[in-house]
Structure 1
Amino acid sequence: MLPLALTGLLALSACQFAGQDDSADDARRLNTMEAFPLHAYLPDPSSDRGKSIGTAQWILAKQCMVRLGFAGFAVLDTRSVESTYPVRQGTLGSRSRTGDDSPYGVDDPDRAAEHGYHNRTQEESSQPQEWPADQYVALTGRFDSGDSHHAHGHPVPDGGCLGQATRKIYGPPPKVTTVNGLKLSGYYSLGLQLWYESNKQARKDPAWKKADRAWSACMKEKGFRYSDPDKASLDTAWYRTEEPSDREKKTAAADARCKLDTDYIGTLHAIETRAQKAVISKRKKDLDALRAADERAGENARTIIDKKS
C-alpha cells in the first residue's frame, strides 16, 4: 500500500494534469469557426443543405454548358465536381500548407513541434479541378485579356453557368459590399462583413491588447520576440520552404504553449463573441432574412435534384 502522503501527491498531480488537458481541450474547441455566433449565418458546405445546393448548382451548370455548345458536358458526372469550384487550366499550383485554418492559429504544442506553421488542412476530396480556358470562362464568367465573351456563338451568362445556376437557386444576388478592400458579392457577404467588423472592434478592447502582451512576454521567456501571434505565424521566413524548418517548429511550439499558458484563446474568444453578439443584435432582421433565404435555396435545390432523378 502506498504511503498516505504519496497517495495524496499522486492524486494532486493527476488533478493538475487533468486540468491542463481540460484547458487545452477548451482552447481547441474555442479555436474553431463553429464556436462563434456569426457562424450560424455562414454557409456550411458539409451540411445536408449545403451538399444539396452544391449538387443542384452543378446540375444546372451542366445543362447550361450543353446549351452553350459544350456537347461533352452531356455525360459529365456532376458528383465528381459538385464540391469544387473550377480552376483555369495551367493555374493550379500546389497549395501552400503555410498558415492555419483556425481563428487564433496553432494551439497544439506537440503538433506545432512537428508541423510548425505548415498547419493548413487539405481535403483531398474537395481539391479544385482544372478546366480548359474556354470551359472555365463559360463556367465562371471570369475573363482574361483576349477571352471571348461568347461560347460557340452563344453569349456567356453573367457569372458563367455556375453564376446563373446560383441565381436560380438563391434568387437575385445582394448588393456588392467592400470589406477590407475586397469586394464581396456573394449571398453570404453580410455575414462575412459583420465578422470582419466585429473582429476589428474586438481588437480595440484593452483586454485583447493585454492578452497580446501576456503572450509576448511568455514567448520572450522562451527566446522568441514577437508582439502578437500574427507576427509569429506570418513571419516571411516560414514561406520560403514547403517544409517547416527547425526554427519554425520551435517557434510554433512555443506559440501554442504560450497560448495555453496565458489562456490567450479563451480570452480573445470571449471578447470576440461579445462583439459578434452586439452586431447580430443590431442586424438581426437582416441576418434572419439571410437565413430564411438559405432555407429557401435548400428547398429549391432539392426540387432541382428531384426533377433530375
Structure 2
Amino acid sequence: MRKLLPLALTGLLAVSACQFVGGDDADDEAHRLNTMKALPLNDYLADPASADGKAVGTAQWLLAKKCMVRLGFTGFKTLDIRTVDSTYPVRQGTLASSSKLGDDSPYGVDDPDLAAENGYHNRPRDEATDQPMEWPADQYTALTGTFEAGESRRAHGNPIPDKGCMGEALRKIAGPRPKPTKIGGVQLTGYSSVAATLWYQAHKEARKDPAWKKADRAWSTCMKEEGFRYPDPDKASIDTDWFGTDEPSAKEKKTAAADARCKLDTEYIQKVHAVESRKQKSAIARHKKELEERLAADRRAMANARKIVDAES
C-alpha cells in the first residue's frame, strides 16, 4: 500500500494539472477580463452605482429641489427625492423606449449558455434608470437649463442658473467645472471627460493594432465554421436584425451563442484585452497629473455629497 499511495497521488496531481491548464481556467480568465474594472482607466472613473456615487446623485437632487422652490416652483417642497433619485430629468413627451439589447461588458457576450438563452439582449431592467420621470417644459428647463427656441430663461421672474438647478447643485457638490483640457486636439470641459476621452482614444488605437486585427480574423474564421459571416464581434452584436424587439429571435440566440463560443475557443478576450490594457497604461503614463487631479476632485465631491445627505437625514 505504501508503494501504491505515491502512484495514486501522482495520478491525482496529473488530473488536477490537466484541469488547471484546461479550457475551464481560460474561460474563467475571459469572463474576468471582460469587465470594465479589469481595464486600468477604470480606476480613474467614478462609479455611480457605488455608495459614494449614489450619494452624489442624492445630494444633487436635494440641492436642486431647494433651487426649484427658490425659483417659484412651490410644489417641489413636497417632492419625495426617492422617486427621482439616480435619474436625470427628461422633457415631457420625449422619453424614448428602453431596450435590453447590449450589456456593460467591453467585449460582448462570453457565456455560450447565457447567449443561447438571451442572445444579445443582456441588459437588465432597472426601473430607476429605464423610466426616469418626465417633467413639463417649464420645470424641465429650470432643472436642466436646456431650452428650445423661444423658451424663457427665467422662471416666475427669476433667472434660471447656468445648466439649471441640476447644474447649480452639481457645482456646489463638485466645485466649478474643470478648466478646459486638450487631449489629442480635443478640448474637454466635463467632470469625467479626461478619463472617458482617454478610454475612447485608447480603444480606437487598440482596434487598429495588428494583434487586435489578428484576433478579429481568428474569431471571424471560427464564426464562418459555425455558419455565420461577420468580420468582428461588434458587427455581430449590432446586426440590425436584433433591433426593435425586447425578446431575442432564434437566429439571434444561435448567433450570440456561436459568438461566445468563438471568443472562448480563440481566446479573443484575452488577446484584445492585452492590447487595450497596454494602450490605456500608456495613456495613463502620459496624463497621470490630469487623472490624479480629477480623481482627488471626485473624492472631495463625494465627501461633500455625504455631508449634504447626512445633514438632510
Question: Is the 1:108–1:257 Cα contact (8 Å) retained in structure 2?
Answer: yes
Question: Is the 1:30–1:269 Cα contact (8 Å) retained in structure 2?
Answer: yes
Question: For residues 182 and 71 of structure 2, what CA distance do their matches in structure 1 show?
Answer: 32
1:116 pairs, out of 115, 119, 128, with 119
2:136 pairs, out of 132, 135, 138, with 132
Matched to 2:177, the amino acid is: P
Which stretch shows the higher mean deviation, 171-180 or 202-211?
171-180
Correspondence for 2:61: 58
Correspondence for 2:157: 153
1:255 pairs, out of 248, 256, 259, with 259
Question: For residues 208 and 124 of structure 2, what CA distance do their matches in structure 1 show?
Answer: 30
Question: For residues 219 and 13 of structure 1, what CA distance do their matches in structure 2 show?
Answer: 31
Question: For residues 118 and 51 of structure 2, what CA distance do their matches in structure 1 show?
Answer: 33
Correspondence for 2:78: 75
Shift of 1:47: 1.9
% identical aligned pairs: 66
Correspondence for 1:23: 26
Shift of 1:32: 1.0
Which stretch shows the higher mean deviation, 123-132 or 258-267?
123-132
**RMSD of aligned residue pairs (Cα, Å):** 2.6
Q: TM-score by structure 2 length? A: 0.88
Correspondence for 2:294: 290
Shift of 1:185: 4.1
2:284 pairs, out of 266, 270, 280, with 280
Shift of 1:219: 0.2
CA gap of 1:198–1:100, structure 2 versus 1, over 3 A, is same
Task: Give 3-state SS (helix, strand or coil) of 1:212's partner.
Answer: helix
Q: TM-score by structure 1 length? A: 0.90
Question: Is the 1:61–1:139 Cα contact (8 Å) retained in structure 2?
Answer: yes
CA gap of 1:248–1:14, structure 2 versus 1, over 3 A, is farther
Task: Give 3-state SS (helix, strand or coil) of 1:203's partner.
Answer: helix
Question: For residues 102 and 190 of structure 1, what CA distance do their matches in structure 2 show?
Answer: 21
Which stretch shows the higher mean deviation, 47-56 or 260-269?
47-56
Task: Give 3-state SS (helix, strand or coil) of 2:152's partner.
Answer: coil
1:248-286, Cα deviation, whole Å (9 max, x unpaired): 111111001100100101111111111111110111111
- Where does the alignment leave 5 or more consecutive residues of structure 2 unmatched? 1-6
Matched, 1:191 2:212: no
Correspondence for 1:236: 240
Question: For residues 58 and 147 of structure 1, what CA distance do their matches in structure 2 show?
Answer: 23
Question: For residues 109 and 182 of structure 2, what CA distance do their matches in structure 1 show?
Answer: 29
Question: For residues 259 and 88 of structure 1, what CA distance do their matches in structure 2 show?
Answer: 41
